Amino acid sequence: MKFSKTWLLGLAAVSLSAGCMQLAEIETPPQSVTFTSKQAQDNAAGFSQMAVRSFVSTEKGRKDDQEMLGARCSVKGRGFKADVVTPALIKMPIYTGASSPADISCRTDKDRASTTVKPFNATLARINATQSSGGGLLGVVVTAAVKGMATAARDPLKDEFNYPGMARVVFGVGDE
């Protein structure tokens, strides 16, 4: 199975979105998606990992949600699906040219919650991340020129689209 270099971006996203919050260890191995169409399977250029985590909102509008273990979640995208119990890692397909959002629906014995995760253009993210500025004004001008050439030289139909490194499903958000 082929993994993209952009899994590092996913790992960074998980680290950044975790901030100071202590997240539960994921004890199960990464789960592969099941392809529901041959075209989706044939078009997959590789795989990247996405953590699926569930949280309970401690108070509407606050960002201090508490992680909840054991929610049963179904992940569905165009041409693939997976069923997991949180927290879990899923090997999400990487597509070139474009990709569709994936819907995640989770449930416990008492509640349901869902979210949609949108893929991002990992090719452009890599170009932006590797082109750092330095050396004052001249460095900024040179960096902008190199970045512009790299962006212009690429074939957008070959851009890789990945899902984020972590999907957060929050229970209790809609409660009044």
Return the minimum-mean-pLDDT range out of 46-55, 72-81, 112-121, 130-139: 130-139
Per-residue pLDDT tens for 26-80? 999 999 999 999 999 999 999 999 999 999 987 666 666 789 999 999 999 999 9
Report the share of the chain in percent with pLDDT over 70.
Answer: 69
Question: For residue 38, what are its two tokens?
Answer: 């041959």
> From residue 100, how far is each of 8, 93, 94 by CA, in Å?
21, 11, 11
Instruction: Tell me which fold the domain 7-121+162-171 belongs to.
Output: Immunoglobulin-like (2.60.40)
Closest listed residue to residue 106, CA positions, set 32, 55, 166: 55
pLDDT at 20: 56
Q: Is 72 strand, coil or helix?
A: strand
Per-residue pLDDT tens for 145-167? 445 544 456 778 789 999 999 99
The model's confidence at residue 1, banded by pLDDT at 50, 70 and 90, is very low
Domain boundaries, the chain: 7-121+162-171
Question: For residue 153, what are its two tokens?
Answer: 């030289």
pLDDT at 65: 76
Question: For residue 97, what are its two tokens?
Answer: 């040219």
Residue 122 clears pLDDT 80, i.e. is over it = yes
Contact 74, 105 (CB under 8 A): yes
